[in-house]
Structure 1
């Protein structure tokens, strides 16, 4: 089968291209620019376009399917040519469904925790040599790609993103997978540029339940009020399995969970991660892994990439980076580190980088999000606001939104770096939360600072 990717360079798209290449498909693609690591990974497999740009002459009837990425626009020249020729066009999630419609589809949804839960499940399966197909939103230790597709595997585990499917398909991705087994971890308003009200956002999860296969299994976090209401109020025919944070304790900076076999030390920490673990356990049990085998495997799980990832440690000093950027994630991550290192000073730094976080109307959602930190810093770039064509955000608006009198706010990356590097890190924990890089902060320098 010959497939052509329009916008092949994206994180998800290039991983799907690699997976199909590995499966034996003939793969081509285009993009107007491709960054690392996508560029090197595509080049290594001979899939990197010879030139950047859009070339409608590449599109002809020898192509069996077009896979359209969100980075492309609805008037993309290659897309228009494909439509003119009547070539089948798939969004990313549509194509994944086509690849998995004869498998048992396991879909992990929710505003937060999706990547971690999916990663936990895959770690457990890999630990016990159970091969499954998958799509996950982070690069995992022990896995070559973020997407793996075969003909023979019975299960596919899919991270179910609620963002839009493609420029010509405005449905959320997770509406297209038709899960046999599903999980909802939490609902907290996000993607304000697409879902302008929280009611509209919640509606996407209500719709998700109507997309389940008949008699599907629904695992859900009953401690999240919105999730509990959405699942328990639904009249969809499904088997419901609620979960909650397991009993646990912290001793000498190490988290233990209570099991039938006694306390089990684990590598991850924070109540949000313990909740994720409880959800992953239910899913693994429905995939044929018993509780004892799950615990044996999960005790070696060190976390998903960029999710509370330890980047440096010295005597009485530790630093973590985390992808957290939405209000609920920022609050949960900050509280987790504060609790894990309760005898240390917590220095929490947040970069406002996404469309939602830089939206003046959305900022109020960050109220009290950094309260668990002893010292709190916020960085944002006015240039990023301008590039995203958003209304100007003032320092005072951010200060008022977080409702923290000692909050320090920076808009210049050099000033932020100097302030950070002048801090006393003795007996402290540093937490860097961002989906960006604070205007060019070198984490190697941060590591040297603490070690």
Structure 2
């Protein structure tokens, strides 16, 4: 008989993907949410599991359910959650449920403040290229994969391990629940200021995770990050394998990056020092799973990148419009530097939408100092509504100039003004980089795209 699960907060990005993967596996799935946006809404509707009404309905929670899957969006006093507790129905966070579904698999967890999605995506790309059977959980929609989650009878699972809170009733990082066999750690740079009030507290979560590596497990870590090196040095007496990595050797020719290998130069579609670190980390994971150097190189040349990671929205012979997810200080700095290094002769206009709680917080924003250093033009967009929703104070241009260390920084608080400013720039021999974990209030990019695609000398 098919098992039945109910999702509390089914509309979230990962939650609805998990729900769809469970439908594919043959489970009976229901759910609730107080708001469901696209593309979640249409995808749930097509699968026949879109809630009929918005809101929470305790009457949906019945004895015949095998479990509840609780999303982070739900509140601790959620009426459906309370009913489930009254009835004694097992309640899982999505990381706990993913672990329950993968107990008998080899579990690979990709952790770190930056690069997680890209490294995970690279590994998935290589495994899929070679037609290997695997499950996965990744934090973005990636090309060639219909869902962000797959749960099947595959012998291995690749998991993007997020350090954010597990659920409203479990304040521990998600990545503690996966119980990895192979752990990769890409870098530690303070993030989630609202949850981890000090850097030491934030770093401690990664320390605990590394110490959870089993006796016959593997710890793959970036040797370019001093914080991770410190963690690795504290694990010297542990019996598991420890594999350090740095950026894969490469060269840049006319805006194109080539891997330097024993069998010659291999062109790749991504660029930037941090991405070459990501690539080497992905390679070490693939080798730990039994693939060869040759198999990795054969596959990685066709990897285009994860969604919103150095994504090219428009391009001409002398100009490119990039969109990137970068939002934390380390991500912003690495992305700006990567684009400038790849195209040193081109002017770089870099725009950052401050969108997260940390980035909008006056007590945290100084951590962005120097992150725009490689940009020729530095621009910040702040949405007053986003600031208000997070109950924070709207920062002025002078505060941001000091925080970022750029006296020439431009601040926009109206999307129409930013749009006009960008459309009035010349893009002759100029790249434009739009960075955010938000969406710039759905700013219409058609004029910018046309200007860059068709008339770069304007």
Q: Which TM-score band (shorter chain)?
A: over 0.9
Task: Kindly state the Cα deviation for residue 205 of structure 1 after the two structures are TM-superposed.
Answer: 0.2
Q: Is the 8 A contact 2:368 2:403 kept in 1?
A: yes
1:221, 1:279 within 8 Å by CA — same for their partners in 2?
yes
Quote the residue 1:180 is aligned against.
Answer: 181
- CA deviation digits over 1:73-128, x for unaligned, max 9? 00001001001111000001000000001100000000000000000000000000
User: What displacement does 1:393 show?
Assistant: 2.4
CA distance in 2, matches of 1:195, 1:377: 28
Q: Which moved more, 1:308-317 or 1:347-356?
A: 308-317
CA distance in 1 between partners of 2:48 and 2:13 (Å)? 17
1:31 to 23, 28, 33: 33
Deviation track 1:378-401 (CA, whole Å, cap 9, x = no partner) reads 111122111111234232211110
Alignment of 1:256-295 (within 5 A): 256-295=258-297
Cα separation, 2, equivalents of 1:214 and 1:315: 53
Residues 423, 447 of structure 2: 8 Å contact kept: no
Task: Give, in whole Å, the separation in 1 of the partners of 2:146 and 2:441.
Answer: 29
- Checking the alignment, whether the CA contact within 8 Å between 2:11 and 2:35 is kept in structure 1 is yes
- Separation in 1, partners of 2:382, 2:221: 35
Task: Give the distance between the partners of 2:238 and 2:443, measured in 1 at CA.
Answer: 48
Contact 1:176–1:211 (8 Å) recurs in 2: no
Question: Which of residues 73, 76, 79 in structure 1 aligns to 2:75?
Answer: 73
Aligned to 2:401: 399
Secondary structure at the residue paired with 1:305? coil
Q: Tell me the number of residue pairs that the alignment of Structure 1 and Structure 2 aligns.
A: 450
* Ranges in structure 1 where 5+ consecutive residues have no aligned partner: none
Q: Give 2:9's aligned residue.
A: 7
1:433 — aligned with what? 435
Alignment partner, residue 121 of structure 1:
123
Cα deviation code 1:333-392 (max 9, x no counterpart): 000000111111111000000011001111000001001011111111122111111234
User: Does the Cα contact within 8 Å between 1:258 and 1:264 map onto a contact in 2?
Assistant: yes
Q: Residue in 1 aligned with 2:89?
A: 87
Listed one character per residue, the Cα deviations across residues 159-190 of structure 1 (whole Å, up to 9, x for unaligned) are: 00000000000110001111001100000000
Deviation at residue 46 of structure 1 after TM alignment: 0.4
Q: Which residue of 1 aligns with 2:157?
A: 156
C-alpha displacement of 1:212: 2.1
Report the TM-score, using the length of structure 1 for normalisation: 0.98
Matches for 1:156-235 after TM superposition, within 5 Å: 156-234=157-235, 235=237
Aligned to 1:346: 348
Over residues 185-243 of structure 1, what are the superposed CA-to-partner deviations in whole Å (9 max), with x where a residue is unaligned? 00000000000000000000011112222221011000111111112213543210000
Q: Distance in 1 between matches of 2:327 and 2:281?
A: 22
Aligned counterpart for 1:243 among listed residues 242, 245, 264: 245
How far apart, CA to CA, are the structure 2 residues paired with 1:314 and 1:245? Answer: 29
1:275 is paired with a residue whose SS is: helix
Q: Which SS does the other structure have where 1:439 is aligned?
A: helix
Q: Runs of 4 or more off by more than 3 Å in structure 1?
A: none
Match of 2:377 in 1: 375
Which sections of structure 2, spanning at least 5 residues, go unmatched? 454-458
- Counterpart of 1:142 in structure 2 is 144
- Contact 1:256–1:263, Cα closer than 8 Å, also in 2: yes
Secondary structure class of the residue paired with 2:451: helix
DSSP-derived class of the 2:183 partner: strand
CA distance in structure 2 between the aligned counterparts of 1:208 and 1:109, rounded to whole angstroms:
9
Deviation at 1:317, TM superposition (A): 1.3
The whole-number CA distance in structure 2 between the counterparts of 1:137 and 1:442 is 25
Deviation larger for 66-75 or 210-219: 210-219
Match of 1:327 in 2: 329
TM-score, normalisation: structure 2: 0.97
